[in-house]
Amino acid sequence: MPEYGAGGFAASGASPSGPTAPEGEDDGSRAVIDVHHHFCAPQWREWGEARGLVNPRALPPWAHWDAESALALMDRAGIATAVLKPMLPARYESSAQLREAVTVTLRAAVEAVEAHPGRFFFHTPLFLDDLEVSSWALRHGLDELGAVGVNVTANYGGVYLGDPVYDGIFAELDERSAVVDTHPHNLPAVPAGAGGTGGPGAGRPGEHGGPGAGRPGEGGGPGAGRPGEGGGPGAGGGPGAGAGGPRPAGGRPGAGGPPGVTVPGVPNFLCDFLLDTTRAAANMIRNRTLDRFPNLSVILPHGGGFLPHIATRLEAFAGSFDPPVDPAVVRDHLHRFYYDTAGPMSPAGTLLATVDPARILFGSDWPACPADVVTDVAVPALAADPALTPALRRAVNRENALRLMPRLVPA
């Protein structure tokens, strides 16, 4: 067992329980498919420790995954199947070392799948700040190992999903009709001279993304998420958090953001992560990513961040994008994205009023989200949400995920 009990079930000996649907109603609450399950492989930790990349005592609790704790949480929450989102939070010295880390992690994911048939599936992690490794990782994971999708970070050094610099990778994914699972990270610095309402002195040299800002390894780009930082639900960002690979050709200057929290006393995962997801979605809308790559299925975590709440704002001011966007494009993308419920999710009524109900997926965010929050807050809230009929709840709990990824056959 790791030194941290991920939620404490294995350590405490708590017996599995879980949500129960009203008699006669099947809402899928005992056969849930979880599409947001963080996976920091024990084998990766050992590999990183042996190379001086990882200090196990400094890693946050979410980085201490083990199958026993995962299955205990799943049984208690009624989760039949979990899709593993690999996390590799370290600073890598080279592309070769990053590739080795991905190899170790994917091998561990395959072992988890084989040891527990039907309980685990996995995504392959991409690092869009290293396009060569990403191309190899998607081919190795999707084509050779049976991954059901890929997971990426909302921004890499301030270059957000949807940027043309990623078009080559997105084209490879589009050819495979891939599921692209996204995750937020720390917000990048504000580029020098950016418009908006910055106060006096905003964008001075060395500040907020000006010359000298965003040193390699800081903020939301490569190297972000140093061991021991963050630690709240979703902390650690996407698979590339901490990766120190080279920036993509054509990447913009001023990348990266300040280390640590943006607002003292307010952990980044509480607010900034939701904005990071919203920015990525807005940039994909601006660049018409789903039109240019129509075979992609993009999952936005945490109910899409702020996106459902500002949907009418985006439509009303669609002409403010550069170049301007037709409001119909905004609406179309809102209905084509997928959204997971990790968070716990915002009220379902807001989401259902904005997006296609067939695009909402269950997500626990475990172990970044503590087990007690999953079982005592998130799952009961979903079960009791008056906006969800039993049929809609069943769709969110499992049917939508099965439609998106047919290989996810619950155990």
* Domain total in the chain: 1
Do residues 83 and 410 make contact, with C-beta atoms less than 8 angstroms apart?
no
Answer whether residue 393 is part of any domain.
Answer: yes
Q: Which residues contact 48 (CB under 8 A, 6 or more apart)?
A: 54, 90, 101
Answer whether residue 82 is part of any domain.
Answer: yes
Answer whether residue 8 is part of any domain.
Answer: no
pLDDT computed for residue 203 by the predictor = 31
Answer whether residue 306 is part of any domain.
Answer: yes
pLDDT above 50 for 247:
no
Do residues 256 and 157 make contact, with C-beta atoms less than 8 angstroms apart?
yes
pLDDT above 50 for 104:
yes
Tell me the residue range of the domain where 88 lies: 32-404
**Minimum mean pLDDT range among 38-42, 215-219, 244-248, 368-372:** 215-219
204: domain CATH number?
3.20.20.140
Answer whether residue 11 is part of any domain.
Answer: no
Largest CA distance in the chain: 65
Q: What is the pTM of this model?
A: 0.81
Answer whether residue 293 is part of any domain.
Answer: yes
Q: With b meaning 16 or more CB within 10 Å and e meaning fewer, what string describes 156-176?
A: bbbbbbbbebbeebbebbbee
Task: Specify whether the backbone of 359 is left (phi greater than 0), alpha (psi in -120 to 50) or beta.
Answer: alpha
Do residues 269 and 230 make contact, with C-beta atoms less than 8 angstroms apart?
yes
Cα–Cα distance measured from residue 68 to residue 276, given in angstroms and rounded to the nearest whole number? 32
Answer whether residue 313 is part of any domain.
Answer: yes
pLDDT computed for residue 349 by the predictor = 80
174: pLDDT confidence band, cut at 50, 70 and 90? very high
pLDDT above 90 for 206:
no
Answer whether residue 13 is part of any domain.
Answer: no
Q: pLDDT per residue over 327-376, tens digit each? A: 999 999 999 999 999 986 656 788 888 898 999 999 999 999 999 999 99
